[in-house]
A and B are shown apart, each in its own frame.
Chain A
Amino acid sequence: SQQGEEDPQALSIQEGENATMNCSYKTSINNLQWYRQNSGRGLVHLILIRSNEREKHSGRLRVTLDTSKKSSSLLITASRAADTASYFCATPRLRGSTLGRLYFGRGTQLTVWP
C-alpha cells in the first residue's frame, strides 16, 4: 500500500508552543500534500511539497521532505487554540487508473490548549 502514516496519533500542547507531526510513505512520489480537518468536516489543503524540494514554508507552517527516508514533517510554529484539528499527509497515485487519487494516513489529532 502507498498509504502514508502520521506520527504521533495525538499531540497535546500549550498555545505558543511548536507542534511537529511526521509522515512516512511507502512508494515513489512526485509530491506530498498536507491537509487539515476541523471536527470531522471537509479537508483543507495546507501545503504541497514537490519531490525535488526539501523544505517549504507557508506562514507559520514549515514542511520538510526526505525522499531517501520516505518521510515528511509538518511544523506549526507558535501554535494557537484555533490550530486544534486533525492533520493528514497524502500522496498521489502516479500511474495507472485513478491517476491522482490520494492516499491518506490516519492523521495526527492536534489539541492546542489556551
Chain B
Amino acid sequence: ETGVTQSPTHLIKTRGQQVTLRCSSQSGHNTVSWYQQALGQGPQFIFQYYREEENGRGNFPPRFSGLQFPNYSSELNVNALELDDSALYLCASSWTSGSSYEQYFGPGTRLTVT
C-alpha cells in the first residue's frame, strides 16, 4: 500500500451537480497531483498542488478546481458536472525536491455522472 487514501470510493451524481473528492497524501510528501482516467485510457493530468498553491494544470476547464491543506490533504472540486466527467479520479502524492518524481497513487474515486 502507498499510504495515499481517497474518499469516497464510488460516487453517482447527476449532470449539473457539483462534487468534491478527497485525498490524503502519504506522510512527508509536499506535492499532490490529480489525474482523470476515462475508461480504456491512461490517466490524464488535471493539476498539481505544491505547498497549498496550484502549481500548474493540464487541459481541464476552470470548473475543475482544487485545494491543498497544511496537512497535505487535498480536494478536487468539479462544478456543473457533465456526462464526460464520468471517470476514475486518482490523486498522487510525491516529494518535489526529489529527482525521480516517483508518485504514489491512491485507489481512486469512481465518479459516474448520469
* Interface residues, chain A, with chain B CB atoms under 8 Å away: 3, 30-31, 33, 35, 40-45, 48, 50, 88, 92-93, 96-107
Contact = CB atoms under 8 A, between A and B. Distances in A.
Nearest to B91: A42
A33 B110 contact: no
A107 B43 CA distance: 10
Interface-central residue, B33, B47, B103, by most chain A CB under 10 Å? B103
B101 A104 contact: no
Given A40-B88, A42-B105, A88-B42, A98 B100 contact: no
Given A102-B45, A104-B43, A41 B107 contact: yes
B25 to A, nearest CB: 14
For chain B, which range describes its interface: under 10, 10 to 19, 20 to 34, or 35 or more residues? 35 or more
Contacts of B100: 31, 48, 50, 92
A48 B110 contact: no
Contact of B43 (A99, A100, A102): A102
Given A41-B107, A99-B96, A100-B31, A33 B42 contact: no
Contact of A33 (B33, B58, B90, B102): B102
Interface in B81-110: 88, 90, 92, 94, 96, 99-108, 110
Interface in B1-53: 2, 4, 6, 31, 33, 35, 37, 39-45, 47-48
A6 to B, nearest CB: 8
